[in-house]
Chain A
Amino acid sequence: MQITSPSFKDNARQAMADADLQRALGNVEKGFINKRAKAVAKLPEFEDLRDSARDIKNHTLAHLDLYLEHYEKKVTEAGGKVHWAADAEEARKIILDICKSVDAKRITKGKSMISEEIALNAALEASGHEVSETDLGEYIIQLRGEHPSHIIAPAIHVNKDQVEADFRRVHDKLPPERNLEAPESLLAEARGILREKFLSADVGITGANFLVAETGSSIIVTNEGNGDLTQILPRVHIVTASLEKIVPTLEDVSQILRVLARSATGQEFSVYTTLSTGPKRAEDPDGPEEYHVVLLDNGRSSMIGTEFQDMLRCIRCGACMNHCPVYHSIGGHAYGWVYPGPMGSVLTPSLIGVDKGGQLPNASTFCGRCESVCPMRIPLPKMMRHWREREFERHLSPATTRWGLSAWAYAAKRPKLYKMITRLGAMALNLASRNKGALRWWPLAGGWTKYRDLPAPQGKTFQQMWAEQKKAARS
């Protein structure tokens, strides 16, 4: 997919002017925040489970090479095959080769962000395969020729009337007079159409929420059951997963599953949590004959040992974006690549480079809500700050920002000068506001004053008051 992260500011401006999008974004807060809070309140051990989940992933990342080797051994023992892919291109090639080897025509897909990351659909279609996304949200955006705007609710930016229009346009063999007003009728129509695809598919491709080293199992967590129909009906099941999805044991995954659904949708547990191990056994009446896991690196192995390693704990629950005031205002597409919201602001520069994704970590007020709800306790604001530092070091930030920061740094290193400037500044602002405490305009502050008044200091600077207090305390 085309990367538009470098034009983030323009994307954001457009998103805020898009009335349909703004209406749809209302559902983010409505749909997620209260539900999560209620689910968390019902489980007294939730905070302890967050610690436990964090520790499990830290241990796993510290021994990642060994767990991956054990995982591969178990998959092979169960009759499956692990394919290692260094980058997106290699992953696409592996999958295309498997599809070719079984002469696949129809391919069904469960939801997978790795598939988005490697731009798999375009590659499969270019090779003449018929590809059907089967998650309802993914199906809707496939019809619209779009990409997900949220990692667990891919069509959150679309309104019901838009879905109806898309269904009427694409499902043109159905009677045009049919009533699609109720969301139930839209769901039923998609169910009917996708049921045929499930039953006639040659290859099913799913993602993985977890890979279990102990057993060589891949795990998908869904509510619709589409991922299950994708993987049990076709002859071949291909799993796309990035290598940090691994956890050691069934006990470890049980810990993390307890925080996943609650953080994501506010459910106690998702409807379907499915563990798949190898292809069907000789005596099994159903299931795939071949089982492949495409294990993607794509830059992750180089994040280990850096200040961004903690990001590899992410379980893609979406809680950070559900609670992010920036995401609420602009939605997911403005971020310009696969991963939006706070987790995207940290991960995107790691995967596509800070030169392209460097604007994203700047789209934060550092309010800290993302970190406060992250089930894996990932310090997202801290890592966004690291990216800002790197962006500055590499001279990627705009000249005005760099000039301003340099000027500030010069003064900040000289306390006397700093005190003088702040004192004069406070006086000037107060005078200009005529003691009213707010300014409607100020030179170079147009970006602020265009939308709101600039507060003007009413008294002394903080340093003056601090010095006076200390003096008073001494006497």
Chain B
Amino acid sequence: MSSRETILATIRRSLHASPGDRTRAASVASRLADAPAGVIPARGQLPDDKRIKLFAKMLEDVSATVERLADAGDLPERLADFLKSHNLPPQIVCGEDELLAGLPWKKAKTLDVKTGRADGTETAGLSHAFGGVAETGTLMLLSGPANPTTVNFLPDTHVVVIRAEDIGSDYESVFARLREAYGKGNMPRTVNLITGASRSADIEQTLLLGAHGPRRLHVMIVG
């Protein structure tokens, strides 16, 4: 008998379950199909404007910086200003994301935009988040050509663009959108939930920013 069969048989014996038990199978099938929500904190259940404010506040509480743009067209210039104000070179790496590709990059003449994955030589990365969670100021980013995962982790500075309407109250509502986009039970290779910049407290419980991932997280909310 393979280890797989031995392990499953031991579990069934311990549970006094027979493999053909229809009640147990039905219970599992319905939970997987219905995915019942449990306790959802009231904190994030707010009208649009307040929800976006909570999202920004939660991010600031974890040392991220946040700015709000009424018009996506202003993004290239604002991004160039942000890099300049932190003495960073006017360079950014990003994927083939539709929103990012459609921006008027000519408005920021000095900015050098590299398209593709990051390889560790870039100083700043730009991503478009699939969604946000107001409850804890969490961003959801999906892997793929549009937003390669390496952009989220290799550059020292990570700038994330998110549409205001994509900021949900809780994790459940953003996962529900993910299910709609990819089909039930399917996922992109990597889903990153990001809440702040990289940090470690492994030396004497002293919190330090910039452990292995980005030292700085900047979020631009559009709309």
> Are the C-beta atoms of A187 and B3 separated by less than 8 Å?
no
Identify which of residues 166-223 in chain B touch chain A, using a CB-to-CB cut-off of 8 Å. Answer: 170-172, 175, 178-179, 185-206, 208, 210-214
Residue of A nearest to B17 (CB): A65
Residue of B nearest to A275 (CB): B191
Chain B hits for A175, CB < 8 A? none
Decide if B58 is an interface residue (CB 8 Å cutoff).
yes
Residue of A nearest to B12 (CB): A65
Residue of A nearest to B8 (CB): A65
Decide if A195 is an interface residue (CB 8 Å cutoff).
yes
Say which residue of B36, B40, B41, B120 sits within 8 Å of A199 (CB atoms).
Answer: B120
Chain A hits for B175, CB < 8 A? 250-251, 254
> Are the C-beta atoms of A301 and B7 separated by less than 8 Å?
yes
> CA A74 – CA B184 in complex, angstroms?
11
Identify which of residues 144-177 in chain B touch chain A, using a CB-to-CB cut-off of 8 Å. Answer: 144-145, 148-150, 152-154, 170-172, 175
Identify which of residues 72-131 in chain B touch chain A, using a CB-to-CB cut-off of 8 Å. Answer: 95, 116-117, 120
Chain B hits for A78, CB < 8 A? 186-187
Say which residue of A27, A43, A134, A281 sits within 8 Å of B189 (CB atoms).
Answer: A281
Task: Given A84-B4, A304-B11, verify A191-B28 contact (CB < 8 Å).
Answer: no
Decide if A49 is an interface residue (CB 8 Å cutoff).
yes
> CA A280 – CA B186 in complex, angstroms?
14
Q: How far is the CB of A378 from chain B (nearest CB, A)?
A: 18
Chain B hits for A269, CB < 8 A? 136-138, 193, 195
Chain A hits for B14, CB < 8 A? 301-306
Task: Given A65-B17, A275-B190, verify A191-B211 contact (CB < 8 Å).
Answer: yes
Task: Given A252-B38, A283-B144, verify A228-B149 contact (CB < 8 Å).
Answer: yes
Count of chain B residues with a beta carbon within 8 Å of a chain A beta carbon: 81
Chain A hits for B37, CB < 8 A? 251
Contact with A along B35-52 (1 / 0, CB 8 A): 111111111000000000
Say which residue of A32, A59, A163 sits within 8 Å of B31 (CB atoms).
Answer: A59
Chain B hits for A48, CB < 8 A? 39
Contact with B along A156-199 (1 / 0, CB 8 A): 10011001000000000000000000011011100100110011
Q: How far is the CB of B140 from chain A (nearest CB, A)?
A: 10
Residue of B nearest to A139 (CB): B202
Identify which of residues 135-153 in chain A touch chain B, using a CB-to-CB cut-off of 8 Å. Answer: 135-137, 140, 153
> CA A254 – CA B212 in complex, angstroms?
25
> CA A86 – CA B5 in complex, angstroms?
10
Residue from A30, A63, A283 whose CB has the most chain B CB atoms within 10 Å? A63
Decide if A225 is an interface residue (CB 8 Å cutoff).
yes
Taking A155-B203, A214-B35 as given, write out 8 further A-B residue pairs in contact, using a Cβ cutoff of 8 Å, ordered by the A residue number: A70-B28, A84-B7, A155-B202, A229-B154, A243-B7, A251-B38, A273-B195, A301-B14
